[in-house]
Amino acid sequence: MSSPFQGHEVEARLRPAASAYAFDLDHALSSVVALESKVPADAFTARILGTERLGNGVVISEGGLVLTMAYLITEASEVVLTLNDGRRVHAHVLGFDGQTGLGLVQALEPLGLPALRLGTSKVLEPGSPVIIAGAGGRAHAAAGRALTRMPFAGYWEYLLDEAIITEPAHPHWSGAALIGPKGELVGVGSLSLSGQSQDGVAKPMNMFVPAELLPPILDDLARGKPAHPPRPWLGVFAQETESQVILVGVSPGSPASRAELRAGDLILAVDGDEVSDLTEFYTALWDQGPAGVTIALRIQREQDVFEVEIRSVDRNALLKKPRLN
């Protein structure tokens, strides 16, 4: 069996040097583990996210709680953690939260690893030094910097008030640990993004979910309870361009699919209120009420403008529930 670390090494020139930090670098990096999950082929998210998912997790308690990204473990029937020494340990999905994008698993055997202390991304300023750490030790870690903290709207009905943007881009960012100047966990890796340098050259970056979003929902996630009341969900994939919200697709079996929305449709308004970007669209959508509420949309398709009413759903109700391995 090939190692889950293989092929995800960071360039040697980008790796952190232990002497540059006041904390024990290797001790901190040992808290990051590889995470592999398997999802049934008939799962709701299988077509979009795949049935085999590979990323990272961060040990946040000596009892074996591991923090990761929700999309890695959603509907997973099997989760395996690989420690830096190659030992493999099965884990159980405790919960995941669509609003923050965070997920939590419990190791089913003692990991014998230190817990990385939870910090806050609010200590980061543009240019603050950080370590971007995937599983596998120092060869899989990059000495980087925070670029900014900014709102982020994802195409899959997702919105963060303050996402953390970092560089250099990590080759294995999903679920990676963002370690702050004092050796604390300040974020969890979510996405690879592309920006532009001042001279117009494409600049790859990573987006991290702030670690301070976890404590308010940690108890609920650990108990397998919903961390937030379910929001109305339509199942659209949308982008913003030239002050317009345009659909690039719809999730199969979703309310949007049943309403026959399709790629290329423009969303002009929600309940009569015009929207020109994803933040306005999502905010207006979620302001309509709880999951299950009927959403009135004004749509433009080519030259035609029409109104459509779509009954939203709780997305979590469509997902397979976690079960003990």
pLDDT band with cut points at 50, 70 and 90 for residue 202: confident
The DSSP code for 313 is: B
pLDDT at 54: 97
> Model pTM?
0.95
User: What's the CA gap between 279 and 161, in Å, rounded?
Assistant: 10
Structure tokens at 285: 């959508």
Out of 3.40.50.970, 2.40.10.120, 3.30.1490.20, 3.30.460.80, the CATH code matching 1-228 is 2.40.10.120
> Is the pLDDT at 221 greater than 60, yes or no?
yes
Q: How confident is the model over 201-212, as a mean pLDDT?
A: 93
Which parts of 155-293 fold into alpha helices (H)?
Answer: 215-222, 255-258, 278-286
Pairing outcome for strands 78-82 and 129-133: unpaired
Please give the residue that has the higher pLDDT: either 121 or 197.
121
Are the C-beta atoms of 107 and 81 separated by less than 8 Å?
yes
* Phi, psi (deg, nearest 5) at residue 292: 105, -15
pLDDT tens track for 48-100: 999 999 999 999 999 999 999 999 999 999 999 999 999 999 999 999 999 99
Structure tokens at 269: 């308004």
Are the C-beta atoms of 202 and 187 separated by less than 8 Å?
no
Please provide the CATH number assigned to the domain covering 236-314.
2.30.42.10
Are the C-beta atoms of 33 and 163 separated by less than 8 Å?
no
CA atoms within 13 A on the CB side of 295: 32
**Percentage of the chain with pLDDT > 70?**
97
Q: What is the 3-state secondary structure (H, E, C) of 39-92?
A: CCCCCCCHHHHCCEEEEEEEECCCCCEEEEEHHHHCCCCEEEEECCCCCEEEEE
pLDDT band with cut points at 50, 70 and 90 for residue 2: low
pLDDT band with cut points at 50, 70 and 90 for residue 1: very low
pLDDT at 25: 97
Query: Where are the domains positioned within the chain?
Result: 1-228, 236-314
User: In sequence order, what are the residues at sequence separation of 6 or more whose Cβ sits closer than 8 angstroms to the Cβ of residue 249?
Assistant: 236, 237, 263
pLDDT tens track for 294-304: 999 999 999 99
pLDDT tens track for 125-165: 999 999 999 999 999 999 999 999 999 999 999 999 999 99
Q: What residues are paired with 141 via a beta bridge?
A: 133
pLDDT at 325: 47
